[in-house]
Amino acid sequence: LAREAAADGWYALLSTLDPTEADAAEVLVRYKGQPMVERRYSDFKGPLAVAPVFLQHNRRISALITVICLALLVFCLIERQVRQALGGNQTMRGLYPDNRAVRPTGRMILYHLAGLRIRAGTTSDPPTILITRGVQAHLLELLGIDETRPRWLET
């Protein structure tokens, strides 16, 4: 039992890296960074809701993969922008009902911003983003978006 207890927390890593490329510590660091990549794959299936699609031409497959990768890039950039704007500890309150401080994820950011509405403008009154919760205003501020001046495409 003592011998088993002494080995608790140990595990073997098999790597194709040459010992001159990376020592044991570097292999462990690279292995520990893998969950970040895996989390992005889960974003494909979660918030982006990518489902199997049957396409007949390679050109369409390539286009679909490009669009999905661009959506994932925007998703990640939104998360990154909010976290960088938060500064040091990268946590904020208001994302969950119990008001605990957590690191904002892309999923939570888009969940809270999904409830935003825009009031159409007139010749004398510009369009405005209608905010119903304080966390929405805070997220827009962190993203650098002025709710009184939404941008419109020129037609």
Tally Cβ neighbours within 10 Å of residue 79.
Answer: 19
Per-residue pLDDT tens digits of the chain, which is 155 residues long: 888 788 777 777 778 888 888 888 888 877 777 666 667 667 666 666 666 677 788 888 888 888 888 888 888 899 999 999 998 888 888 888 888 888 898 889 989 898 888 888 787 877 778 888 888 888 988 998 877 766 654 54
CA distance 13 to 17: 11
CA distance 128 to 151: 10
Tally Cβ neighbours within 10 Å of residue 30.
Answer: 13
pLDDT of 15 reads 81
Domain ranges in the chain are 2-103
> Which residue(s) pair with 128 in the sheet?
119
pTM confidence score: 0.62
| Integer angstrom CA distances of residue 41 from 25, 26, 44, 67 | 26, 24, 5, 15
Task: Catalogue the E-assigned strands of 19-96.
Answer: none
